[in-house]
Structure 1
Amino acid sequence: MEYNVEEISPVKRKITVEVPAEEVNAALTTTIALYRMQADVKGFRKGKVPSSVVESKYRKQVYSEATTDLINYQINEIMSGLSMQPMSRIDVDAKELERDTDFKYAIEFEVAPKLDLPEYRGLSVEEVKAEVTEAEIAEVEGRILENNAEVKVIEDVRPPKDGEVATVTFGAYQGDKVVEGIQAENFDLLLGQGQSLPEFEELVKTLTTGESGETEITFPSDFINENLAGQTVTMKCKLHAVKERITPEMNDQVAKKAGFSDVETMRKGIEESYMNQRKQMNKSAAQSQLLSQLIEGIKDFPLPPAMVEDRIDRLVQDLEYKLDRQGKGLQSLGKSLKEIRDGFKAEAESTVKSEIFLLAVAAEEGLDISPEEIEATLTQLAMQTRQPLHELKKYYEDNNLIVPLKDRLLCDKASELIYDAAEVKEIDPPAAGSKPASAEKNEADEGEGRFASKAEAVEWAVANLGIKESTAKGYSLAKLEERAEKFYAEQGE
């Protein structure tokens, strides 16, 4: 076998391969031998069928498999020899093998561009110092107390107020028919927390115990049920009881219910959880600054088109999955698929640039990922997703996800190397009410914190805080990040 590598562009290669007739015949002979072992031909014992008979009877399958096996074997051999990692699918231009005839074929694929790496050691970066205030700890304590509040029926016959619980039976009607999914009996509604549409809460707050009422309500355009979005219904409601929430005093018993041994341990746990999250978040922000600074300094940075398209595919799939969990589809966005993909292009290009750069640094530094590190990462993923490790490993292997996982871990190592070699200057957190320039940029770019975008933060808030989507959308991304921090601090995570 002889081959020639042609550089079609900085990110595309074409390899032309020439195979002499002797290798062609050897490939055919090997495949025929495999068929002979299993061939069932009348008049011959299994394994004793002449090669000529096998070749004649199974010619189409034999020549097709021999061609595929030969090309796959030679591609692996060529790639290993060139130390080349395709960043796209390998396109093969080949006919079928012919006995006693030289064979020629070509393959094309995309590769990462060769970068003139800038100096990535010894850079300067500012990192916000992680701090936790007493007010933040107190607020988490308040949430814990609220979760442990007792509910007591109010004997006075009067309309309920914000902060109280109204036990109601309700239904949304279109004509004489109740709307499926918008009805409940003896439902406890905490008023004033944005758990339902404002118009419905206003109706409830006009009723006294035992009284019924109704009002017309128009669902918001972003309502979770697309069939009802923008629709007007008649909401009928009966108030059964008004209850007050009695919040206990903070004590060791309450702390134990929250998973801590006592109040002091709980407060330390909350503080440590906040500190750990903030340290990691601030470190990640500093790493992102370093990476952006380095990439912006590279003038010539061609990107493999297939790699960008693959990242766009993933972003669209993630969006589709998130919308599906909300009972929606891509059509709910009011955009064509092309518009959605175009909207993700800049993000995909940025992600691809970061990956290519960090992999180049990893190669320059001779970094590697051991099988033990792959195993440890999969074990951690299995624990987080509560899947059996062997099933998760099989899924990764069957779907060719081991190499992307290894690349991700290499990128993480390279990012850590750049950070560890940098001069990190700690700066004080911004004063309350103010916002550093980096935070403003992050908010404009949909955030660099716990959530990749505001849409993701809204989805999280709906699922974990029990608030309506329309309410969550009214919060800024920074506020949703803050709510998430408090939530996980309360959980001790």
Structure 2
Amino acid sequence: MAVTVETLEKLERKITLSLPLATIQTEVESRLKRLARTVKMDGFRPGKVPMKVVSERYGYSVQYEVLNDKVGEAFASAANEANLRVAGQPRITEKEGAPEGQATFDAVFEVFPEVKIGDLAEAEVEKISTDVTDDAIEKTIDILRKQRRTFAQRAADAAAQDGDRVTVDFEGKLEGESFEGGKAEGFQFLVGEGQMLKEFEDAVRGMKIGESKTFPLAFPEEYHGKDVAGKTADFLVTLNKIEAANLPEINDALAKSLGIADGTVDGLRADIKKNLEREVKFRLLARNKAAVMDALLTKAELDLPNSSVQSEIERLKTSARADLKQRGVKDADKAEIPDDIFRPQAERRVRLGLVVSELVRANELYAKPEQLKAHIDELAASYEKPEDVVRWYFGDRQRLGEVEAVVIENNVADFVMSKAKVTDKALSFDELMGQG
């Protein structure tokens, strides 16, 4: 087989493939003979259909299959012989004017790029650190207490204050007209916890049972109700009931109710600290890994295979349609989504994937079995039966592959950090958690 390779532009290549027609014809006849032994046709017993009839009925489709197979094999062989790393599928077209007895095809395709990674010692990375403080532990205990609070009706002359649960009737009007969602009876909310717009909470705070009040409420421009967003409505609110919140005490009974093994407050604090430290570790890892990847991209030079970018765009569009469907959007699977919406994200992912792959290959940063086991053990530690979770991960190749990808990314992050100019920055617990 004669093979010629041409460079068209950047990553695009062309291979010309020549196949002997005799080879194709021999394979076509062989497949038709096999087909004749099993094919069923009206008027003939199975296996007794004449070859001429089989050929007339199936000859074209079998020839098409053979051509596809043979051209595919020839392309794979030629690409392998030329040491080409093919990205995506080739576009194959038949050439006219082939020598007698030959079929000639042009295969146009892209190759993966050469990735050049500059001096990582010049890369700059900001590394975040966070400590789990006693204050963070106490705030978590307060959240747990609030989740278990009870309410008791306050005295008739009490005024609503932060922390109270109030029951109100209200009606809002825009230029004297009622609007959808602007009226409710027996509506409950907690004062001072941001469940209602600030003007609403400010109006109710200090009111007494049986009292009514009229006040203006300006809806924000980004308010979810489009009919009232950016407009000011007049509200009438009547306070029907005030209930004071009672928080459980921080004692052994609370610890026991939260499932703490030794049923003590010290055990509760230790358990909370352990869980917060695990959450902080994973968040720091994600943040610092993202910073490393950003720094890595600034030191990499490469051309992007259009086929890889397009595949990633299609994957992102499929994911977006699935998300729309989950939200109940009608005909979400047919939604027209322009490629350009996802192109920057797709290009970044493809670029990052190629750069990381090159760094892993060049520096042998592959996931070791002991790293996989340690990472899965850590993921499983927060579950009631960690051994079941470990078995779940190791019992599925795809799940294991996802963990392997994370471990490799961690190896890359550690490698780049060891080379780069690293600036340490301490974040408070609240700052880290507030950034998702």
* Same fold? TM cut 0.5: yes
- The answer as to whether partners of 1:212 and 1:237 remain within 8 angstroms in 2 is yes
1:356 aligns with 354
Deviations, residues 38-85 of structure 1 (Å, cap 9, x unaligned) = 533222212332332112123443333333344445455555666655
For residues 233 and 34 of structure 1, the distance between their equivalents in structure 2, rounded to whole angstroms, comes to 80
Call closer, same or farther: CA 1:153–1:305 in 2, change over 3 Å. same
- The answer as to whether partners of 2:130 and 2:427 remain within 8 angstroms in 1 is no
Identical pairs, percent: 22
Call closer, same or farther: CA 1:6–1:328 in 2, change over 3 Å. same
* Secondary structure of residue in 1 paired with 2:351: helix
For residues 28 and 322 of structure 2, the distance between their equivalents in structure 1, rounded to whole angstroms, comes to 46
2:254 aligns with 254
Structure 1 gaps of 5+ residues are: 330-335, 397-401, 433-477, 486-493
The AA in structure 1 aligned to 2:246 is I
* Secondary structure of residue in 2 paired with 1:249: coil
1:304 aligns with 305
For residues 347 and 480 of structure 1, the distance between their equivalents in structure 2, rounded to whole angstroms, comes to 26
Deviations, residues 404-459 of structure 1 (Å, cap 9, x unaligned) = x9699458526505625853899865387xxxxxxxxxxxxxxxxxxxxxxxxxxx
TM-score by length of 1: 0.65
For residues 29 and 234 of structure 1, the distance between their equivalents in structure 2, rounded to whole angstroms, comes to 85
Greater strand share, structure number: 2
2:156 aligns with 156
Task: Output the aligned Cα RMSD.
Answer: 4.9
Structure of greater Rg:
2
* Secondary structure of residue in 2 paired with 1:91: strand
Call closer, same or farther: CA 1:72–1:207 in 2, change over 3 Å. farther
Call closer, same or farther: CA 1:304–1:349 in 2, change over 3 Å. same
Matched, 1:264 2:262: no
For residues 125 and 229 of structure 2, the distance between their equivalents in structure 1, rounded to whole angstroms, comes to 47
1:22 aligns with 22
1:463 aligns with none
* Secondary structure of residue in 1 paired with 2:88: coil
Call closer, same or farther: CA 1:132–1:16 in 2, change over 3 Å. same
Cα deviation for residue 134 of structure 1 reads 1.5
2:333 aligns with none
Cα deviation for residue 291 of structure 1 reads 4.3
1:470 aligns with none
- The answer as to whether partners of 2:162 and 2:191 remain within 8 angstroms in 1 is yes
1:430 aligns with 426
From 404, 411, 416, give the equivalent of 1:416: 411
Alignment of 1:121-270 (within 5 A): 127-170=127-170, 179=180, 186-205=186-205, 208-210=208-210, 217=217, 219-226=219-226, 229-230=229-230, 237-261=237-261, 262-270=264-272
- The answer as to whether partners of 1:16 and 1:106 remain within 8 angstroms in 2 is yes
TM-score by length of 2: 0.72
Per mean C-alpha deviation after superposition, the further-off stretch among 53-62 and 142-151 is: 53-62
Alignment of 1:52-131 (within 5 A): 52-77=52-77, 84-94=84-94, 102-118=102-118, 127-131=127-131
The AA in structure 2 aligned to 1:189 is F
For residues 49 and 121 of structure 1, the distance between their equivalents in structure 2, rounded to whole angstroms, comes to 74
For residues 116 and 148 of structure 2, the distance between their equivalents in structure 1, rounded to whole angstroms, comes to 59
- The answer as to whether partners of 1:359 and 1:414 remain within 8 angstroms in 2 is no
Deviations, residues 143-165 of structure 1 (Å, cap 9, x unaligned) = 12222221111122455223211
- The answer as to whether partners of 2:126 and 2:424 remain within 8 angstroms in 1 is no
For residues 345 and 268 of structure 1, the distance between their equivalents in structure 2, rounded to whole angstroms, comes to 47
* Secondary structure of residue in 1 paired with 2:109: strand
Cα deviation for residue 139 of structure 1 reads 1.5
For residues 307 and 220 of structure 1, the distance between their equivalents in structure 2, rounded to whole angstroms, comes to 43
For residues 368 and 422 of structure 2, the distance between their equivalents in structure 1, rounded to whole angstroms, comes to 33
2:386 aligns with none
Cα deviation for residue 282 of structure 1 reads 3.7
